[in-house]
Structure 1
Amino acid sequence: MCLALPLRGEAPRLAQPIDCTLGEDCYIQNYVDHDPGPGYADFTCGPLSYDGHKGTDFALISRAAMTAGVTVHAAAAGRVTALRDGMTDGVFLEDPAAVKDRECGNGVVIDHGEDWQTQYCHLQKDSVSVTKGQSVKAGAPLGRVGLSGRTEFPHVHVSLRHDGKAVDPFNPDGDHACEEMPRRTLWQDPAPHYRPGGMLSAGFSDAVPAYDHVKSGRAATVHLPADAPALVVWGFAFGGRPGDRVMLEINAPDGSRIISHTVELENPMGLFFRAAGKRRSGSAWPKGVYHGQVSLQRDGQHLGTQHTTVTIGP
């Protein structure tokens, strides 16, 4: 958890530590936990955290993006004081005990002076590009986003510490005022924008896809045969809360509506997907381009929409 601290010395001003565009090809999945009890809450009093979480998780939208390679950068200038590399990505998903006492996975620690440190976790195996004792500038490449250590999705966990205690760069005073952007942060301007949840991706398939295929980025297809057994649109999202509504639509090449389906979430969900579709009845699907749309709404507020298309026929 993050507590109010008497901060000595000049705190580092942090740059975005990942080479992506927030809200487009990456997002923030979890923030520092501000709840002092067994519950959890991010700095806005929202649920994008978990009990005892001490960093900010900058996440990619798929494992395919991780495989393509996304660079992790030093958020501020300093000296490398510790690092680890060589841990295999994805081991935690198969054997959680294998990462015991090495939950950070492949990572780097940078000392910024005045007892300030940043730590970068879950880097891709054999990607760490700095050495212990090396001085680095803000923005220097440290490695690539991976899936090493205790993680179920590709991201870089960035912890900021002062005197060994966690500090939330979004709310360094620790006042937990439930503001979407406190008056003072430790981010360079502009600070990363807070998103309380949203859509990550959408696609078409001929059946409800396996969740693992959705997360890996392998579920979508851009072409289906006219005799496909079904036409299914799916949407992948984050930050779901009870009562959220996922709306899924498919429109035929002539503009007519094939399906319009709404699903209401019953439980909080960090990552989730929903799908809806229609089975083919007898004759072949009309050839042409089909349009899909998946939206997420909360209390009447629009949190995001993903559009997708599929071509049926040659």
Structure 2
Amino acid sequence: MIRAKTILALLSLAAPAVAGDIPLAPPIDCTLGETCFIQNYVDRDPGPGAADFACGGLTYDGHKGTDFALPTEADMARGVSVLSVAPGTVKATRDGMPDIAMDRPGAPALDGRDCGNGVVVSHGEGWETQYCHLREGSVAVRKGMRVAKGTVLGQVGLSGRTEFPHVHLSVRRDGRVVDPFDPASGPATCGRAAAAPLWQNPLPYAPGGLVGAGFSTTVPGFDAVKAGLASPATLPAGAPALVLWAHAFGGRAGDAVAFEIDGPGGARIFEHRATLDRAQVRFFRAAGRRPPAGGWPDGAYRGTAQLMRGDEVLGQRTVTLRIGG
């Protein structure tokens, strides 16, 4: 069973406690933990290392915002709105940069445009927010426009310095980066109580998890998984193999992806455990088996993938298919 204390731990339970703080709504139209997830947080380590506000590893050195990510590029293609987190006035916009991940052929020179297509909103009293990596052609506001909390600013994209579809939200006051999960200045909490968050409703902290899983007849390529590889509903009895793959984030060295495949009647036909030898921000693993003599028996098949940290389940996905009639 997934331990709620980890996956759904609400590390902040109060409304903003300091006069003048700004209550924020999420910057993306999705369900956190289901159709989107937080890939990276503000780096709270003052030195060359990196630590998020909970002293976890979901950040990198010098990261100045919170990344709300989509599982796949297919999710991006369907269109997911980026929303203003608070009322304010649009200070600046940029559009027209292509949605090409920075690690792929054809990615444009950034020339200081690391944010890609983006919007900056001023909220008064020194507060401003910046929204980066929006989809080309999606920016829906212009400079000087008044926006309400929840106004659509654009859509999640792949522009600028990014390798996966997400919106990077930066929160600043008087030019200083503010971590909305723990707005107190200084390094990560590491045991002390976090300051009251800026979120109007608490957001869960997940130290890692699964964002997708599926069946295949071969080990897929990671590019296909990131693009949005679909799990088949049916396969023929002559399928050359039954492979279960899992797409995950926040992996640490020593974490493991556990695979189980059950055949007709619930009989266990395969299990495997793949251990990570290093930390990985986004990754996938796959495992499976060839058919028995005579081919796969007709019936329902169920695959379960889990991301494990010791004996704790950080995430789980279950998929099903039918073989034969």
Considering the TM-score relative to the shorter chain, is it more than 0.5? yes
Q: Distance in 2 between matches of 1:102 and 1:70?
A: 22
Q: 1:246 to 1:91 in 2, by over 3 A?
A: closer
Matched, 1:177 2:215: no
1:186 matched to which residue of 2?
A: 198
Q: 1:195 to 1:123 in 2, by over 3 A?
A: same
- Asked whether the 8 Å contact 1:180–1:194 carries over to 2, the reply is no
Quote how far apart the aligned CAs of 1:296 are. Answer: 1.1
> What SS does the corresponding residue of 1:15 show, helix, strand or coil?
coil
> What SS does the corresponding residue of 1:170 show, helix, strand or coil?
coil
| 1:158-173 alignment, distance < 5 Å | 158-173=169-184
- Asked whether the 8 Å contact 1:91–1:98 carries over to 2, the reply is no
Q: 2:216 aligns with which of 184, 205, 213?
A: 205
Quote how far apart the aligned CAs of 1:219 are. Answer: 4.6
Quote how far apart the aligned CAs of 1:192 are. Answer: 1.2
Q: 1:57 aligns with which of 39, 49, 67?
A: 67
Q: 1:115 aligns with which of 126, 133, 137?
A: 126
Q: Distance in 2 between matches of 1:97 and 1:63?
A: 18
> What SS does the corresponding residue of 2:77 show, helix, strand or coil?
helix
Q: 2:274 aligns with which of 259, 263, 267?
A: 263
Counterpart amino acid of 2:307? Answer: L
Q: 1:229 to 1:181 in 2, by over 3 A?
A: farther
Counterpart amino acid of 1:218? Answer: L
1:213-239 deviation digits (Å, cap 9, x = unpaired): 111112522221211110000111110
Quote how far apart the aligned CAs of 1:179 are. Answer: 5.4
Quote how far apart the aligned CAs of 1:263 are. Answer: 1.2
Q: Distance in 2 between matches of 1:160 and 1:179?
A: 24
- Asked whether the 8 Å contact 2:183–2:195 carries over to 1, the reply is no
Between the two proteins, the alignment pairs up a number of residues equal to 306
Matched, 1:17 2:27: yes
Matched, 1:229 2:244: no
> What SS does the corresponding residue of 1:41 show, helix, strand or coil?
coil
Quote how far apart the aligned CAs of 1:103 are. Answer: 0.8
> What SS does the corresponding residue of 1:20 show, helix, strand or coil?
coil
1:110-151 deviation digits (Å, cap 9, x = unpaired): 001111110000001111111110010111110011111111
Backbone CA RMSD of aligned residues: 1.6
1:240-294 deviation digits (Å, cap 9, x = unpaired): 0111121001111121111110111110111111111001244221112110000
Counterpart amino acid of 1:243? Answer: G
Q: 1:252 aligns with which of 239, 242, 263?
A: 263
Q: Distance in 1 between matches of 2:105 and 2:125?
A: 40
Q: Distance in 2 between matches of 1:227 and 1:74?
A: 52
Q: Which moved more, 1:167-176 or 1:26-35?
A: 167-176
Q: Distance in 2 between matches of 1:237 and 1:271?
A: 6
TM-score, length-normalised on structure 2?
A: 0.90
Q: 1:280 to 1:180 in 2, by over 3 A?
A: farther
> What SS does the corresponding residue of 2:20 show, helix, strand or coil?
coil
Q: Distance in 2 between matches of 1:107 and 1:302?
A: 36
- Asked whether the 8 Å contact 2:216–2:243 carries over to 1, the reply is yes
Percent identity over the alignment?
A: 54
Counterpart amino acid of 2:30? Answer: C
TM-score, length-normalised on structure 1?
A: 0.94
> What SS does the corresponding residue of 2:223 show, helix, strand or coil?
helix
Q: Could you tell me which runs of 5 or more consecutive residues in structure 1 were left unpaired when the two chains were aligned.
A: 1-7
Q: Which runs of 4+ in 1 moved over 3 A?
A: none
1:9-54 deviation digits (Å, cap 9, x = unpaired): 8232110110000010100000000111111110111110011100
Q: 1:181 to 1:139 in 2, by over 3 A?
A: farther
1:77-128 deviation digits (Å, cap 9, x = unpaired): 1100100011110152324562231110110000011111100000011111
> What SS does the corresponding residue of 2:225 show, helix, strand or coil?
helix
Q: Could you tell me which runs of 5 or more consecutive residues in structure 2 were left unpaired when the two chains were aligned.
A: 1-17
Matched, 1:30 2:43: no
Matched, 1:303 2:311: no
More RCO (CA 8 Å, sep 6+)? 2
- Asked whether the 8 Å contact 1:82–1:110 carries over to 2, the reply is yes
